[in-house]
Structure 1
Amino acid sequence: MKLFSCLLLFGLATISLKAQNTPAPVKLVEIILTANHSDWNYKLNEEASVKISVLRYGSPVENVEIEYQYGPEQLAPEKKGILKLENGIGKINMSTMDIPGFRQLKVQTKIDGYTYKNEIKAAYAPFEIKPTVSLPEDFDVFWEKAIAENNAIPMDAVVTPKPELSTATVAVYLVRLQNYKSGQYFYGYLSKPKDNKKHPVLFNPPGAGVKKIVPITSFADQGFISFTTEIHGVSPEISETDFQKMHKELSSYPTIDLEDKNNYYYKSVYLGCVRAIDFLTSLPEFDRKNVVVTGGSQGGALTIVTAGIDKRVNYIASFYPALSDNTGYLHNRAGGWPSMFRDKNQNNIVEKTKTMEYYDVVNFAKKITVPGFYSTGYNDNTCSPTSVLGAFNSIKATKEIVITPISGHWRFGETNDKAMQWLQEKCGME
């Protein structure tokens, strides 16, 4: 009995400690950066200035020193310095640009042994940014041939009901599809409303990384038959040992066979997106009218790619697409994730850049003919806004974009809601 009491007390103490150690929702010290233009947008040759406020408990910290640096986005800073804030408030002029692009200001301070940081980017004529990547003359022929070859490979779909993952309103299935080569597969979770009605279909490609996917039922709750996939052939039911082995082998997958356009890693990935549409449009519950694609980061890139090469797609919503204008760094400006050409002296760079022309999101963006919803944030250091705007500006189809300047590599719930409402309205859903 005494042992039980001790164990109980230990358990309660552990729970109490965990509760006490919950991370704070806000920082003890905040650095507030306020641009002199509320939308962070500037005309060419217009100087941007930023007000800096260092607050503790919501009040200015007196006599604090700020380290700062600024220059073109993601590149070496043009200037570094230290600014002393007498009353916790100061201002930095971060100069200007005479060509479209972004300037980045980074600041930090140390208080009581802790370092606090923040940053802000000023946009100069962002909707005039032009991509640096070239479009190969045989781009269309290359992808038409690749899709035709892939069509000759049976889809060999295996659809397994997953009642343990389903909800009262959504039926979930694990799907395996053959793609690219005989015996090569990728996986996805299909989510269908349990109402026996016809619905628009929605393809949801994944963000970057090697990971086990989980079912997403929210799209089905909003009236779509959705298919959320992975791209590496990683079954969500794989053993942890095998998963870790694959994770290690594929850690650098964006650069695998980058010197060879016919065997580059993303070739199977892009063809897998078309295969996902093959599968969705084969479902008996498909309304035969509306095919939607949406995703963010790598998923945002694959959204644009799918619409660019598969004319069955009707509407897309792409958030901060990766793999956009990858050659930016070779032209002294920020490129897209995964920054593969930041090192200008790497081996076989000519062959690699030639291959990337067939895979850069910018060149698929040029092929889009359907309405699209797009979104990005200026403070994104993963998928640089320079690269994202380069892709967006290449789109000639009907488009709209929501920019939340303060966003990093994430988006607000309000933006998600707006995108979903836009897609539902386009599909004629109530």
Structure 2
Amino acid sequence: MKKLLLLVFLSMLVGAASAIPEGKIRIEITPDRADSWCYAAGDSIAYDVAVTVDGKPLRGARVKYTFAREKMPACLTQQAVLAEGRIRVKTAGLSSPGFLTCRVFLLDEAGRTVAQDLAQAAVEPDRLRPMTDLPEDFRAFWEEAKAGQARIPMQPLVVRAAEWCTEEVEVYYVRLQSFRKGNYVYGYVSVPLAAGPHPAVLYLPGAGVTKIEPSLYMAEKGVITMTVGIHGIPLDMPEENYVCLKNGALYDYPLFDLDDRDRYYYKRVFMGCLRAIDYLFTRPEFDGERMMVAGGSQGGGLAIVTAALDPRVRYFVSFYPALCDHMGYLYDRAGGWPHLFDRVRTANRTARRILNSRYYDAANFARFVRVPGFFSWGYNDLSCPVTSMYSAYNVVTAPKELVLERRNGHRRSVRQNNSADEWMLRRFFGEGAR
């Protein structure tokens, strides 16, 4: 009887969790190689987990933790009570290059998740290469597309956007015909009023259907700045129109017409990026030389694509690029946004769609980049998996710089933004430019 009571007591001690007090909960997970988060294949990996409420250790908290290759199902699940608000958890690591996810869930007394976070350790990321293969006619396909685009007159409609103009910058609303007659690219171009000629940067948008606004920051520093939408819709509509399109006609647009290589949604998008550059070259304030493209997420992928397709682009900036290594999922590895072939889209894995995706993969475009590029991302990005981003980055043979903010997910820090801005200004105006 005494033995039974002891077992019950021990079970209660291990399984019970203290009540979680009110306050700001923080779960911090750090690989034990805190300076690099980087390991060799075959290394064991440990993560230090700390849970706090309003900055104070949450003693007696119960957590569940899992290990998995990035975006793959968990290979191990455990629970523990954090006697002092922290614990070190260990796993065998990975036998090949990739990223290993440790995910921690804070549980309440009923076993429900009340907070969660993750950290991803890198295993030889410099060895990652795309699983997407390069079609033999890849370059010919896109040269033909560019030739077709050149036959479509731009027919620019340019209107001064007085509500955005400042004492330093003139802003214009622009409509350009692109890809086929009656299809348009809409954007804003911000032109410095200071004497030129000026360099130019084209900012390409992230994913979604949202209202695009002009960018003034670089224009105030002497750079012609253009922002564009990709969906062929005006940028000055009421906000509710974009919400309706996002949830209606443009819902899941990255899948539109993937069955047809010549009609896939992103063909028109890629040509629209080139058409925006066509327009910038017509601006008399532009010096005709210093052209850059930049973007994050979908825009980061588009920056790679545009830099590869258009030899007039001299530099590019790519934050956490999407559209990279679509076929990764077919090899039990994380593929890039929009996750065309992930585990919830197995019906999408038809031979035709898989083959067509290769022509629209930023990792394949990355092979043909010949100009300097700036890249930046975090290790904890599950929207644009870091495995897919490294797969594209590693095949770029042109000069490149990578700024890491390892703890970041799908966002940028002030440090990342400042690093990119400084890199851009140095390319435009030389060392010492700010």
Q: Which moved more, 1:206-215 or 1:361-370?
A: 206-215
Structure 1 residue 347, shift from structure 2 partner: 4.8
Matches of 1:317 and 1:418 in 2, distance apart?
11
Offset from partner CA, 1:159-179 (integer Å, 9 cap, x none): 110111112211111000101
Matches of 1:383 and 1:114 in 2, distance apart?
25
In the alignment, is the contact (CA less than 8 A) between 1:120 and 1:379 conserved in 2? yes
Q: In structure 2, do the counterparts of structure 1 residues 117 and 239 end up closer, same or farther at CA, with 3 Å as the change threshold?
A: closer
Residue 402 of structure 1: SS of its match in structure 2? strand
Equivalence for 2:91: 94
In the alignment, is the contact (CA less than 8 A) between 1:259 and 1:351 conserved in 2? yes
Structure 1 residue 29, shift from structure 2 partner: 2.0
Structure 1 residue 222, shift from structure 2 partner: 2.3
Matches of 2:413 and 2:116 in 1, distance apart?
21
**What amino acid sits opposite 2:116 in the alignment?**
K
Residue 283 of structure 1: SS of its match in structure 2? coil
Q: In structure 2, do the counterparts of structure 1 residues 55 and 165 end up closer, same or farther at CA, with 3 Å as the change threshold?
A: same
In the alignment, is the contact (CA less than 8 A) between 2:59 and 2:82 conserved in 1? yes
Q: In structure 2, do the counterparts of structure 1 residues 347 and 121 end up closer, same or farther at CA, with 3 Å as the change threshold?
A: closer
Structure 1 residue 43, shift from structure 2 partner: 1.1
**What amino acid sits opposite 1:105 in the alignment?**
C
Residue 345 of structure 1: SS of its match in structure 2? helix
Q: In structure 2, do the counterparts of structure 1 residues 119 and 235 end up closer, same or farther at CA, with 3 Å as the change threshold?
A: same
In the alignment, is the contact (CA less than 8 A) between 1:362 and 1:391 conserved in 2? yes
Equivalence for 1:196: 195
RMSD: 1.6
Residue 307 of structure 1: SS of its match in structure 2? helix
Structure 1 residue 238, shift from structure 2 partner: 2.7
Structure 1 residue 114, shift from structure 2 partner: 7.3
Matches of 1:52 and 1:333 in 2, distance apart?
26
In the alignment, is the contact (CA less than 8 A) between 1:41 and 1:122 conserved in 2? yes
In the alignment, is the contact (CA less than 8 A) between 2:67 and 2:74 conserved in 1? yes
Structure 1 residue 239, shift from structure 2 partner: 4.7
In the alignment, is the contact (CA less than 8 A) between 2:341 and 2:349 conserved in 1? no
Q: In structure 2, do the counterparts of structure 1 residues 100 and 114 end up closer, same or farther at CA, with 3 Å as the change threshold?
A: closer
Equivalence for 2:265: 265
- Scaled by the length of structure 1, the TM-score of the pair is 0.91
Matches of 1:182 and 1:196 in 2, distance apart?
36
Equivalence for 2:24: 28
**What amino acid sits opposite 1:127 in the alignment?**
D
**What amino acid sits opposite 1:31 in the alignment?**
I
**What amino acid sits opposite 1:356 in the alignment?**
S
In the alignment, is the contact (CA less than 8 A) between 2:45 and 2:91 conserved in 1? yes
Q: Report percent identity of matched pairs.
A: 38
Equivalence for 2:12: none
Q: Is 1:144 equivalent to 2:140 in the alignment? A: no
Matches of 1:241 and 1:60 in 2, distance apart?
44
Structure 1 residue 229, shift from structure 2 partner: 0.3
**What amino acid sits opposite 1:116 in the alignment?**
A
In the alignment, is the contact (CA less than 8 A) between 2:289 and 2:312 conserved in 1? no
In the alignment, is the contact (CA less than 8 A) between 2:341 and 2:348 conserved in 1? no
Offset from partner CA, 1:266-304 (integer Å, 9 cap, x none): 000001111111111111001122000110000000000
Q: Which moved more, 1:237-246 or 1:372-381?
A: 237-246
Offset from partner CA, 1:316-351 (integer Å, 9 cap, x none): 110110010011110001100011101463156211
In the alignment, is the contact (CA less than 8 A) between 2:370 and 2:397 conserved in 1? yes
Q: Is 1:216 equivalent to 2:212 in the alignment? A: no
In the alignment, is the contact (CA less than 8 A) between 2:64 and 2:107 conserved in 1? no
Residue 30 of structure 1: SS of its match in structure 2? strand
Structure 1 residue 245, shift from structure 2 partner: 4.7
Q: Is 1:62 equivalent to 2:63 in the alignment? A: no
Residue 299 of structure 1: SS of its match in structure 2? helix
In the alignment, is the contact (CA less than 8 A) between 1:259 and 1:348 conserved in 2? no
Offset from partner CA, 1:68-119 (integer Å, 9 cap, x none): 1111011100011101111112111032111110000110113588712111
Offset from partner CA, 1:156-208 (integer Å, 9 cap, x none): 11111011111221111100010111011020010111113211010101000
Equivalence for 1:122: 121
Structure 1 residue 58, shift from structure 2 partner: 2.3
Q: Is 1:40 equivalent to 2:37 in the alignment? A: yes
**What amino acid sits opposite 1:252 in the alignment?**
D
In the alignment, is the contact (CA less than 8 A) between 1:75 and 1:334 conserved in 2? yes
Q: Which moved more, 1:249-258 or 1:34-43?
A: 34-43
In the alignment, is the contact (CA less than 8 A) between 2:100 and 2:121 conserved in 1? yes
Q: Equivalent of 2:46, from 30, 46, 49?
A: 49
Q: In structure 2, do the counterparts of structure 1 residues 245 and 109 end up closer, same or farther at CA, with 3 Å as the change threshold?
A: closer
**What amino acid sits opposite 2:26 in the alignment?**
E
**What amino acid sits opposite 1:395 in the alignment?**
V
Equivalence for 1:330: 330
Q: In structure 2, do the counterparts of structure 1 residues 57 and 240 end up closer, same or farther at CA, with 3 Å as the change threshold?
A: closer
Structure 1 residue 235, shift from structure 2 partner: 0.8
Offset from partner CA, 1:37-86 (integer Å, 9 cap, x none): 11211111111101111122322222111111111011100011101111
Equivalence for 1:18: none
Matches of 1:366 and 1:414 in 2, distance apart?
28
In the alignment, is the contact (CA less than 8 A) between 2:301 and 2:362 conserved in 1? yes
Structure 1 residue 243, shift from structure 2 partner: 4.2
Equivalence for 1:417: 418
In the alignment, is the contact (CA less than 8 A) between 1:317 and 1:372 conserved in 2? yes
Q: Which moved more, 1:320-329 or 1:420-429?
A: 420-429
Question: Which runs of 5 or more residues in structure 1 are unaligned?
Answer: 1-25
Q: In structure 2, do the counterparts of structure 1 residues 27 and 396 end up closer, same or farther at CA, with 3 Å as the change threshold?
A: farther
Aligned residues: 405
Equivalence for 2:7: none
Matches of 2:62 and 2:178 in 1, distance apart?
57
Question: Which runs of 5 or more residues in structure 2 are unaligned?
Answer: 1-21
Q: In structure 2, do the counterparts of structure 1 residues 375 and 243 end up closer, same or farther at CA, with 3 Å as the change threshold?
A: closer
Q: Is 1:108 equivalent to 2:109 in the alignment? A: no
